[in-house]
Structure formats: structure tokens, C-alpha cells
Amino acid sequence: MIDWVSLQNFHFIRPAYLLLFLVLIFLYFALRQRDNSLHFWQQVMSIEVLEHLTIKGSNFEWFSPSKIMPVVGTMAIIVAAGPTFTQVPSPFNEDKAGLVIAVDVSETMQQSDLAPNRLLRAKQKVNDLLDIRGDSNTALIAYAGSAHIVMPLTNDGNMIRQFMKPLSPKMMPRAGKMPDNILPLTSQILNPTNVPGTLLLMTDGSSSEAQQNFQAFFEVQQHQLIIWAIGDDKVKAKPGSNFLPLQINSLEQLAKASNGRVVRFSHNKEDVGTVNDYIENNLVIVEDGTRPWLDAGYPLVFVIAFSYLFWFRRGWTLQW
């Protein structure tokens, strides 16, 4: 399975070798011009006469040295440039990055577009995420009109599950929805680790004031923001109803202002895997800068070697 998240780190270790594509293009067109046996006659004969004097038939020139050479050359240049998207694992790796899960427990999370309600489904998603993360450092914040640390950083997922289970709007001392109140608590939790962490915001909406505060916060912090949109944006409010739909547009604007990402709720575990991939991609390893990038071009060497076997066929030659 392709790790699409890791591909955002794709680059070449030795990009200067990509300049060889200019040489390859020149050789290809030079050989193509030279192999055109009608090129000389086209200069001294009319096209109509040349067409009548030319015997046409089926041929398989596409499978020839001059046609295979550009393909092999392209692969060779890519190998030389050193494509990579991941670093060599360190034998002394230490996961010090923390995850702060901020759960919205305001009244709007009681909406039933996700049965039985958004808050319960959010808790289920947290449980699924904890199952994947194992004993990684995780903290829990609950917020509505105010924000409170439910559990500081811990590698005990069961503790988080136990303290998360009774969370409800009735427990919050102040009603409302003010996600920017979680920012000071996030700094309090993550900054002592001295490495960039992740703030996972599980909510159904935001505000313009929160957007400004989030933007200012993430401009000076190296932590990443992931917004898990809890709700079904396909369900719209009917006239006269008290239903409050998912504010997906405000969440996307909040993520854009904070250089973060939005993950939409899914009824399977696809969204859980996506969130975990984003978290894993942001993990910082001790002495991360000293680890070399893993050259992913080596498998193409075997393909290039196999293609050279065709040159052992009788009649296969490439005149330079």
C-alpha cells in the first residue's frame, strides 16, 4: 500500500543529475533524424512521387534499440538522481512528539446527523485512534465556552478512555464554543517536550475570532494542526428546525489560516487511518537531521539490467 502522506516529502538526493535529460533528449532526436531513411530523398523529390516509390508495410520499429534507449536512459537518470521520500530508520529512535486531542463538548455536538450524536461518535473515533497509536504520548482537552485539561501527556490509552467517557456539555462550567481557549493549554502540554507536536481538534464548527487566534498561534509554533470535522455535511437544516449543520467551510478556513489539514468524518475507519498518517508524518526523531535519506531508486537498477539483455539478440545494435 502506497503511503501517500509520505510522498509529500518526495525529492531527489542528487538533483543535478536531472540535467542529463537534456543530453538524452538530444540523443533521441539525433538518432531519430539519422534513422529516417527518407530524409535525404525528401529534399530532392516531391512528397507525391516519394509516396508512390515507397513500399509500405507493417513493421515493429517501436521495439528496437533506438526506441528502448530513451526508456532505459530515463530510468538510469532517475536512479542517478536518487529519488527519496523517507529517511533511513535510526537504531536509536525515540518518539518524543506529543499529541493533544481537543474534543468539542459544546451543545452543538449533541446533533444527531451522526447517530446517536456527534459527541459519542467523536469519542468512538478517539478510541479507534488510540488503538492504532498504542503507547504513544497523548493528552486530552475538553472545551466548550472554556477549555480544561482532562489528561496530561501519557502513554496509557486506557486512562484517556476512562476520563473521556463521561464528558458531556453538562460538565462544562461555561457554555458556548471557543476553540481558541485550547491554545494556551496546548502550549503548556507540548512546549516542555521541546519537539513539534500535533493538535488534533475534533469539532463541528469554528468562528472568525478563533481563526485569527489560531493563525497567530501557529505562526510562532512548530506544532501542526489537524481538524477532524465531526458531522455529516450532506445533512442540511430544514426550515423551522433547530438543527445546526456541520460548518465545514469555517473549519477549512481555520485549517488554511493555520497551515493545517481537515479530515472529514467517515463511517468506516478510513478517516482514522488518515489522521494517524498525518500524525506519524510529523513525528520528530532524536537527532532527526543526522539521518540520511533512503535512496528509493535502487530497484530500478534491476529493470535497467534486464533491459540490457535485449542487446544480446542478433541484429540488436545501436550505431552512435
pLDDT tens figures, 114-124: 999 999 999 99
Are 34 and 167 found together in one domain? no
The answer to whether position 317 is within a domain reads: no
34 has pLDDT over 90: no
Q: What is the pTM of this model?
A: 0.66
pLDDT of 60 above 50: no
Averaged pLDDT for residues 141-156: 96
CATH number at residue 115: 3.40.50.410
Hey, CA dihedral for 281, 282, 283, 284, is it positive or negative? positive
The band of 140, judged by pLDDT with boundaries at 50, 70 and 90, is very high
pLDDT at 36: 61
**Tally of domains within the chain:** 2
Average pLDDT over residues 242-257: 93
Average pLDDT, the chain: 85
* 102, β-bridge pairs: 141, 201
255 and 126, same structural domain?
A: yes
pLDDT tens digits, 155-214: 999 999 999 999 999 999 999 999 999 999 999 999 998 888 999 999 999 988 899 999
The torsion of the CA quartet 254, 255, 259, 260, rounded to 10 degrees, works out to: 150
Same domain, 269 and 298: no
**What is the pLDDT at residue 283?**
63
pLDDT for position 87: 72
Q: Read off the pLDDT of each residue in 21-32 and give the average, rounded to a whole number.
A: 86
pLDDT per residue over 286-314, tens digit each?
A: 345 556 788 888 888 998 888 877 777 66
pLDDT value of position 309: 79
- One domain for residues 131 and 152: yes
Together in a domain, 56 and 127 = no
Domain that holds residue 12: 6-88+293-312
Do 117 and 249 fall within a single domain?
yes
